[in-house]
Amino acid sequence: MTKINISDTTGRNLWLMKSEPDVYGWDDLVAEGEGTWDGVRNHLAARNLRTMQAGDLAFFYHSNIGVEVVGVIVISQGGLSDPTDPEGKWAAVKVKPVQKLPQTVTLKQIKATPELQEMDLIRLSRLSVGSVRPDEWNLILRMAGAL
């Protein structure tokens, strides 16, 4: 896995990206080494994808099964067009795994944490690619035992 200090967020945008683990989970990304994040068909999520730059960090979140943050990934390549879109209008990025969290952080825990109520994850529950603020990032890392 890519060696990065996940608590050093200077100059990096922070994100949270959802995937259903029975379709594409953390272990699948680790096995692949690098994955293409495509198939997003929501305008706000796509805008977030287009904003991403190589070096940005993201939480990898398991939706539907687990319903928890499981690891940290890094955007390895930004500004791609979605290979699954024949029109080439939708966006994609490439990502690499950085670190599995010592303990997962569940949606239930996040919902129970007052400081995390403003997260896209909570406010826009169906958004598959949301942004994360540095204070939220660090608190979740702390909850995961990664700091």
Partner DNA sequence: GCCAACGTTGGC
Contact positions toward DNA, by CB under 7 A? 18, 20, 41-44, 63-64, 67, 107-108, 111, 121, 124-128
Please say whether the beta carbons of 66 and 58 come within 8 A: no
30 or 44: CB nearest DNA = 44
* Structure tokens, 21: 């683990």
74 or 119: CB nearest DNA = 119
Instruction: Give the nearest distance from C-beta 116 to DNA in angstroms.
Output: 13
Instruction: Give the nearest distance from C-beta 129 to DNA in angstroms.
Output: 8
Helix, strand, or coil (residue 19): strand
What CA–CA distance (Å, rounded) separates 46 from 27? 24
What CA–CA distance (Å, rounded) separates 17 from 40? 11
Instruction: Give the nearest distance from C-beta 48 to DNA in angstroms.
Output: 12
* Structure tokens, 116: 């995390």
64 or 103: CB nearest DNA = 64
54 or 84: CB nearest DNA = 84
| H helices, E strands: number in the chain | 6, 6
